[in-house]
Structure 1
Amino acid sequence: MSNRNTDTLFQLIKSLGKSEKRNFKLYINRNGASEELKIVQLFDALDKMDEYDETILFKKNDSIKKQQLSNLKAHLYKEILSSLRLINDENNIDIQLHEQMDHARILYNKGLYLQSLKALDKLKEQARAFNQLTYLQQALFFEKSIEGLHITRSLKNRAEELSKEADEVNTTLSNVSTLSNLALQLYGWYIKNGFARNEEEEQAVRSFLNNNLPPNAHQLTGFYERLYLYQSYCWKAFIRQDFLMYYRYTQKWVDIFDEEPQMVSLESGHYIKGMHNLMGAYFNLGNYQKLNDTLIQFEKFCNSKTVQQNQNNLIQCFIYYTISLLNKHFISGKFSEGLLLIKDIEDKLKEYELYIDRHRILVIYYKIACMYFGAGDFETTVDYLNKIINWKVDLRSDLQCYARLLHLIAHYELGNYQLLEYLAKSVYRFMAKLHNLSVVEEEMFKFLRKALSLPPNKLKPEFEKLLQKLKQFENKPFETRAFMYLDVISWLESKISGVPVQEVTQQKYLHRK
């Protein structure tokens, strides 16, 4: 992902669709000025590049001088955004409300106070319908200004009504700000650390939530108040590995969009994330049927106009649909079938590499590695795990740890015993440094160190001993994360029975149906 920090103008141009490029050309050629023609040349030059390279740019475009480039790029960037604004007016509620506010100010500046107030009434009505509190606040502030400066002969007690209305909006905005900060900080904690590893971390997360909730949080009724409240409880439950509570709050998260369907297109990012978490909850609970049903519903949404006409929604839908599709194969144990998805996933990752955040790529790589491991292709498992291990990022220490642990087990399966002793020490040091060793992981390290010195005919009893030890931790707090990231139970049962992991997992799935 070398071009993640690429030139911003280049990135913007590469994000444009065919119709957007055509619209830009029509927009910019409206007057034919020489400066406009130069930025069209720059646009075409950058559009043809696969990667941003100024040396090639100057070599192939003599008319573009080095000393001009900075100004030309700034001008082109601004003009592209202006052209995009023209074609996105109708579908963007923010732009519509901003335009209505502009109209109200124009009318006021013309001395048409009553017409300005009428425009503000229309703005407020639409802002309330779409829960746009900041625009509602601006409209009320402007309306108070008009009423305070001019005799409009408006309704009786209008001053009291406006004051009360403004206070209510300000209180709601304060609650939304507090709750959105809380949800973001809890999510940030998870991105950095993963699941709570001990009682101290669990208590810290619980206290952080309880100490930062606004008064009467559960009596709040606003769309955004409830959205961020449910998100906060969702992340708390997920960090604590309380997957039943996680499911309940992700369902509430999605339900508020069912109650106010007009918000789906307006806050599609939050809706997509909510659906992703709901599918993730079904996966964590092992509910294949619900996961499959929700995945079908989500696929239908992914093909809707709301998604197909929005690049960001398209990318987010790809990421979350991919993760849930892989999870569906993990539950059913159909790893070999899941491998057929990998090429298309890789192609899409390449197509969207400028836009996908590193955290999501790490998650997808780890899931692909697990898919290959389940299918018995340990060499390719190692290849994908190396992508994670060698990628120097400060995200998801838990994912980094389990990538190394699975890497170690894959090398064990490949019979790379000379490498294993060094790897075992390295992985142990890495996890211990992060204070990330659970009882399950300690037992696995003990086994792997011992297994290196045992002949093949004495391994089975050791596998059986380890299986019995680990089974007692399957449902214990702070130990379940080991089984989430790595189905070590199925791996051990596979080694004991001599049946591939894939078959063991499929048998478990069929038994649960």
Structure 2
Amino acid sequence: MAELQKDFLFVLIKSLTTSEKRQFKLYVNRLGINVDAKFLLLFSELDKMNEYNESIIIEKKISTKQQLSNLKAHLYKQILVSLRMNPSHQNYRIQLREQLDFANILYQKGLYKQALKILDKTKQSALELDEKSIASEIIDLEKVIESQFITRSIDGRAEELINESKAISKQNQYTTELSNLSLKLYSEMLTHGYVKNDVDREEVLEIFNSQIKNIQPSKLNFTEKLWYYKAHVWKNQLLQDYKYTLKYAYQWVELFHQKPEMIFSHPVWYIKGNTYLLKILFLYGNIDILENQFEIFNKTVYSPSFAQNENLQALIFLTYSNTLMNIHFVKGEFFSGTKLIPEIEMKMEKLRDKIDEHHFMILYLKMAAMFFGSKKYNESMRYSMKIIESKGNVQEDLLFHTRILILMSKHESGNDEDYDDFIKATLKFAMKMKKPEEFHFESIEFFKNLNNLVLDERQKAFEAFDQKLEQYENNEYYRRSLFYIDIHGWIQSKVQHVDVIEIIKKKVKYKRLK
């Protein structure tokens, strides 16, 4: 992903669609501002730039260097106000907060009954949407009005507000505890990765059990259940316990299907839940269920009622593209899979500023693996090098397995001019990893020796490494290492003297029968 410009205003203007720019200009004209107003001139100039260049603004006397900072801040604010008014950016949270703002204005004007009427209606909507934070703010304002003025709205009003406040406070406590736990587990996954041994496992369980023991699942509402399932998904991913990851990812998605209106309220978490569910179904290799869930996901996110914005488009694209390629991987459809790549790359370019580097590299690795499966080894190496040469923050495991894929491609293509140098570089990389595993060094040693062996000896080397990979597959702490690329399937194809596609098809047939 190209590095974003450091100037936030420039990035914001470049993110605007044609209709959003048109609305901004209409909004400015509605304010009765002179068309030559400096902030509008600044907007036009920045819109024309391909790269941010402050000196051009100064040279054209749009602003002095001393005034530019304030002018940019003013323009930034006006653009955000314009975007807030745009119907495409309206959502229920903005609408609820708008009603709360209206009630505050009426309260300040002394129109207490009108304010309470708006607050009561908005509170019911907030509770239906499980927006307890907003509901809590509404109740606080109701308390202020009721405690200061004799509104005589209804009998027992004080007791009603007290009970509502207590109930929401308890639910907010659950939400806070579960969201903190989920965030902690997610942080563990990003910083330390998956558990590598029993000590790591105990640390994760200690974090999880210390928090979850205070939670009573039967008393949870939608939002708390959502955080509850998230925490379990991330815990089981850390533990590499895919059976329970699948269970809670499925419950996460089903939570939305049981209450469809929440898909509109929380579209990001609906997409994320499906991302984890589709990913774990791919790891299981159950193609029938994977394709069925993928169809449900597509029908939902591409329906007219599903919210649309740049953030959601990027998330949908990632889930859709990764799953589509995963389905081709499971079926061993490498040749048809490579035909998807040009369109995926084109969309990647359009969403380049909306997707982080790591997710780009995952897509590139899948493309490289797809080309490898279709025997286009030079293309596979070309896409692999996009990852190796990336200057972004890419996970070590992904980088290592990319190197293994390059070694596989070099072996198959016979393009081994720099084979030994690449082996040395890969060994050096592995030694610098934060938590290198036995699997990493065993793989490097295998490829190091492979190129110097005659045919008969190579066959024995493949058979010996096949037995080692069998052991790794049965080891819960190493199992995930074999999921990045199907190195074991490739080794098995060499042992059995068949195409790697035949190995994959056997696995798919087994999963279907099972």
Q: TM-score, normalised by structure 1?
A: 0.92
- CA distance in 2: counterparts of 1:387 and 1:306, whole angstroms: 38
Matches within 5 A, 1:83-482: 83-88=82-87, 91-213=90-212, 215-305=214-304, 307=306, 309-417=308-416, 419-434=418-433, 436-482=435-481
Structure 2 SS opposite 1:192: helix
Deviations 1:337-369 (A, max 9, x none): 111111111111111111111221122122222
- CA distance in 2: counterparts of 1:270 and 1:18, whole angstroms: 29
Work out whether residues 307 and 314 of structure 1, in 8 Å CA contact, stay in contact via their aligned partners in 2: no
Kindly tell me: are residues 41 and 309 of structure 1, through their superposed partners in 2, closer, same or farther at Cα, counting changes over 3 Å? farther
Partner of 2:13: 13
Work out whether residues 29 and 37 of structure 1, in 8 Å CA contact, stay in contact via their aligned partners in 2: no
Q: Counterpart of 2:225 in structure 1: which amino acid?
A: R
Kindly tell me: are residues 185 and 396 of structure 1, through their superposed partners in 2, closer, same or farther at Cα, counting changes over 3 Å? farther
Deviates more, 1:327-336 or 1:453-462: 453-462
- CA distance in 2: counterparts of 1:219 and 1:268, whole angstroms: 25
> What is the Cα deviation at residue 230 of structure 1?
0.4
Q: Counterpart of 2:323 in structure 1: which amino acid?
A: S
- CA distance in 1: counterparts of 2:52 and 2:299, whole angstroms: 36
Kindly tell me: are residues 443 and 372 of structure 1, through their superposed partners in 2, closer, same or farther at Cα, counting changes over 3 Å? same
> What is the Cα deviation at residue 154 of structure 1?
4.0
Structure 1 SS opposite 2:30: coil
Q: Counterpart of 1:72 in structure 2: which amino acid?
A: L
- CA distance in 2: counterparts of 1:398 and 1:341, whole angstroms: 25
> What is the Cα deviation at residue 65 of structure 1?
5.1
Partner of 1:494: 493
Aligned length: 512
- CA distance in 2: counterparts of 1:349 and 1:252, whole angstroms: 31
> What is the Cα deviation at residue 129 of structure 1?
0.9
Structure 2 SS opposite 1:3: coil
Percent identical among aligned pairs is: 36
Q: TM-score, normalised by structure 2?
A: 0.92
Q: Counterpart of 2:313 in structure 1: which amino acid?
A: L
Which consecutive unaligned segments of at least 5 residues does structure 1 have? Answer: none
Deviations 1:397-445 (A, max 9, x none): 3222222332333333343545333333332343344354444444323
Q: Counterpart of 2:187 in structure 1: which amino acid?
A: G
> What is the Cα deviation at residue 125 of structure 1?
0.5
Deviates more, 1:109-118 or 1:436-445: 436-445
- CA distance in 2: counterparts of 1:51 and 1:197, whole angstroms: 45
- CA distance in 2: counterparts of 1:2 and 1:445, whole angstroms: 32
Partner of 2:28: 28
Structure 1 SS opposite 2:86: helix
Work out whether residues 83 and 89 of structure 2, in 8 Å CA contact, stay in contact via their aligned partners in 1: no
> What is the Cα deviation at residue 126 of structure 1?
0.8
Deviates more, 1:359-368 or 1:416-425: 416-425
Work out whether residues 375 and 502 of structure 1, in 8 Å CA contact, stay in contact via their aligned partners in 2: no
> What is the Cα deviation at residue 379 of structure 1?
2.1
> What is the Cα deviation at residue 189 of structure 1?
2.1
Deviations 1:60-89 (A, max 9, x none): x56455554333322221111111111238
- CA distance in 2: counterparts of 1:173 and 1:15, whole angstroms: 35
- CA distance in 2: counterparts of 1:54 and 1:324, whole angstroms: 43
Q: Counterpart of 1:123 in structure 2: which amino acid?
A: T
- CA distance in 2: counterparts of 1:174 and 1:156, whole angstroms: 29
Kindly tell me: are residues 457 and 387 of structure 1, through their superposed partners in 2, closer, same or farther at Cα, counting changes over 3 Å? same
> What is the Cα deviation at residue 117 of structure 1?
1.8
Which consecutive unaligned segments of at least 5 residues does structure 2 have? Answer: none
- CA distance in 1: counterparts of 2:91 and 2:413, whole angstroms: 55
